[in-house]
Amino acid sequence: MTRLAGILLAAALTLAAADKVTVIRAARLFDGKSDRIVSPAVVVVSGNRITAVGANAAAPAGAEILDLGDVTLLPGLMDAHTHLSYPFERDYRNEELGLLKKPVSERTLDAVDVVRRTLMAGFTTVRDLGSTDLIDVGLRNAIDAGKIPGPRMLVSVHALGSTGGHCDPFAGYAPGIFGRESGITDGVINSPDEARLAVRYNIDHGADVIKTCATGGVLSLTDDVDTPQLTQAELDALVAEAHELRRKTAAHAHGATGAKRAIRAGIDSIEHGSFLDDEALDMMKARGTYFVPTLMAAQGLKERISDGYVPPAIEAKARAAMAALDTTVRKAIARNVKIAVGTDAAVYPHGRNAGELVRLVELGMSPAAALRAATSVDADLLGVAARTGTLETGKLADIVACPGNPLDDIRQVEKIRFVMKDGVVFRRD
Ligand SMILES: [Zn+2]
């Protein structure tokens, strides 16, 4: 962070800015829901709300003017799949050892830098899909209280999965090495009743959203990547309980069988989805289930494999999933399945979240659709569309800016140079 950014940040964190009026001017604006760019761009912000938007919006007398020049204003970007309490580790061994050797206090302090970096990359809201030791809850609360800079977080506490499955934190270790076996309080469930209990446990401890592991995964040593790991009855109970308690649900699912069980159960989004077949995509299209392909996870794995930092068993699973994923995403785009932006941040270096939009455009999505996927579509999936996700009057002032025109070159979103969240400026280069 530059010295100026540091000063701005200190000012931002101390200024309540309740009745302050700011007028942001820029060359262009993309509102997060249309297909077009508005030019020139004027956004009026009062306190933490947008009070006027458009080429001809009038500047109220006495307002502070921020003239950002040749940039495009965008709604604050969103990431529907992060792990901000996990550091990025290029070497798989450190990923495992970090959890075993670092105290919770050290891992929490490491995460303070991660949330700051995510916000500075233009991501003002994230859905964090799996943590340990309630680090995600602590981060969310500290950010909301203005104690540390970071994105607005919707957190999930533990991801819920079966014994020995992708989300069992004790899987692959000798029996009893942790002094007990994994259970509800680690997110491990093995019956419909345990699924309901674990949902209640997570919500009791602060979960905004419920994440489950419906199939095996890539970054786990004890399972196949595509096998189902929960029964239909377990997923039915989990989703029903979460929805009764007004929480949305997300399922990690690579294989089609587990994904279809989750879709039938009424899951709100399928994460990863590498091996989704035509039937699964058609079910998602018919039910409005969101697809969050996490292409940046594949990108991160590709880079780590080429650096020689991934064990052979995981490399084989990663190669199979990566080989299938691009085709699946192209099919989903062609079918008009709802695709939302989520990246699996922590599998690749934190702060590169916007690479997901670049990958989606490479696979056939239009730049405008990719920007909507990271703003208004994500806002719908996260259940925050009434508050944020578009540049419209009445919405929270979550506003970022990138150079140039991202509809001409989507890679501009990787160069964010202005970040306002909730009416507070956190970055201005
Ligand atoms: Zn994940």
Q: How confident is the model at residue 8 (pLDDT cuts 50, 70, 90)?
A: low
- Comparing 91-95, 237-241, 247-251, the range with the smallest average pLDDT is 91-95
In angstroms, rounded to a whole number, what is the distance separating the alpha carbons of residues 281 and 66?
45
Q: Output the CA 343–ligand 1 centroid distance in Å.
A: 8
Q: Output the CA 184–ligand 1 centroid distance in Å.
A: 19
Q: Output the CA 19–ligand 1 centroid distance in Å.
A: 39
Q: Output the CA 89–ligand 1 centroid distance in Å.
A: 14
Q: Output the CA 130–ligand 1 centroid distance in Å.
A: 7
Q: How confident is the model at residue 50 (pLDDT cuts 50, 70, 90)?
A: very high
Q: Output the CA 413–ligand 1 centroid distance in Å.
A: 22
- Say if CB 223 and CB 217 are below 8 A apart: yes
**Domain locations in the chain as residue ranges:** 3-76+390-428, 77-382
The 10s digit of each residue's pLDDT in 240-296 is 999 999 999 999 999 999 999 999 999 999 999 999 999 999 999 999 999 999 999
Q: Output the CA 209–ligand 1 centroid distance in Å.
A: 14
Q: Output the CA 304–ligand 1 centroid distance in Å.
A: 16
Output phi, psi for 98, to 5 deg: -55, -45
Other CB atoms closer than 10 Å to residue 40's CB: what's the count?
12
Q: Output the CA 68–ligand 1 centroid distance in Å.
A: 35
Q: How confident is the model at residue 16 (pLDDT cuts 50, 70, 90)?
A: very low
- Say if CB 314 and CB 93 are below 8 A apart: no
Q: Output the CA 166–ligand 1 centroid distance in Å.
A: 10
Does residue 18 register a pLDDT over 70? no
Q: What percent of the chain has pLDDT over 90?
A: 83
* Residue given tokens 């093995």 in the structure block: 190
Q: Output the CA 82–ligand 1 centroid distance in Å.
A: 6
SS3 20: coil
Q: Output the CA 66–ligand 1 centroid distance in Å.
A: 37
In angstroms, rounded to a whole number, what is the distance separating the alpha carbons of residues 23 and 25?
6
Q: Output the CA 106–ligand 1 centroid distance in Å.
A: 21
In angstroms, rounded to a whole number, what is the distance separating the alpha carbons of residues 312 and 218?
11
Asked if the domains 3-76+390-428 and 77-382 are classified in one and the same CATH topology, the answer is no
- Better-scored residue on pLDDT, 45 or 61: 45
The 10s digit of each residue's pLDDT in 305-351 is 888 888 888 898 888 889 999 999 999 999 999 999 999 999 999 99
Q: Output the CA 219–ligand 1 centroid distance in Å.
A: 10
Q: Output the CA 344–ligand 1 centroid distance in Å.
A: 5
Helix (H) or strand (E) holding 199: helix 192-204
Q: Output the CA 249–ligand 1 centroid distance in Å.
A: 13
- Better-scored residue on pLDDT, 271 or 224: 271
Specify the CATH class of 3-76+390-428 in words: mainly beta
Percentages helix, strand, coil for the chain, rounded to the nearest 5?
40, 20, 40
> H helices of 79-161, where?
92-101, 104-120, 135-144
Q: Output the CA 49–ligand 1 centroid distance in Å.
A: 32
Section 229-248 average pLDDT: 98
- 77-382 maps to CATH 3.20.20.140: yes
Cα–Cα distances in Å, from 142 out to 92, 108, 135? 29, 11, 11
Q: Output the CA 321–ligand 1 centroid distance in Å.
A: 14
Q: Output the CA 138–ligand 1 centroid distance in Å.
A: 19
Report pTM: 0.94
Output phi, psi for 11, to 5 deg: -65, -45
